[in-house]
Amino acid sequence: MKLDDLHPNPGTHRQKRRVGRGYGSGRGKTAGRGTKGQLARSGGGWNPRFEGGQTPIHLRLPHRRGFKNPFRVEYEIIKLQDLNQFDADTTINRGLLERAGLVHPNDERPLKLLANGAIEKALVIDGLSYTEAARIKIEEAGGSIIGAPARDTEPAGAETATDADA
């Protein structure tokens, strides 16, 4: 195959319509724009936002306010009281919560355990994020947390003493 052999597939390339090329072309004189008027002029037509004189949509809607953080992590939350349905010393993880119907199986959001309600059994929490209040309640009930996701305790960009020494 050579470069001069390349050509588009039949029917995929349409020729540009050439207007204003005389009566014989069928699109001469006014070039398909009709006679006079706003649409016949070059640059004529409406602003895409123009709505026939009614108040445009961009003026009818309230303005956006505030700031939306693009780095926000949206969690699927689990209440502490919902874990009372499991037997004592059960290891609670995402798979168990999905089977119990507390978490939607196709939801990719990370899970977070909130301290809503009381927990009456000693449970082992594995691989879930949690609030500090939830951790305290779990440990008071005799439970424990293992394999929790890593959490940043310092603001981003903060330098620790060990980093400065190295």
| Residues 62-110 pLDDT 10s | 887 888 899 999 999 999 999 999 999 999 999 999 999 999 999 889 9
For the chain, the domains span 76-146
Residue-level pLDDT at 163: 52
More confident call, 16 vs 64: 16
Render pLDDT for 146-166 as a digit per residue (tens, 0 to 9). Answer: 976 655 444 444 455 555 554
- pTM check: above 0.85: no
Around 5, how many Cα atoms within 13 Å sit in the side-chain half-sphere?
Answer: 2
Tell me the sheet residues that pair with 130: 113
Region 35-55: mean pLDDT is 90
Helical ranges in 5-160 per DSSP H: 57-60, 94-99, 132-140
Nearest to 81 by CA among 121, 131, 129, 128: 121
Look over the chain and give the mean of its residue pLDDT values, rounded to a whole number.
Answer: 86
> What span, in angstroms and rounded, lies between the C-alpha atoms of 111 and 62?
34
Yes or no: is domain 76-146 CATH 3.40.50.150? no
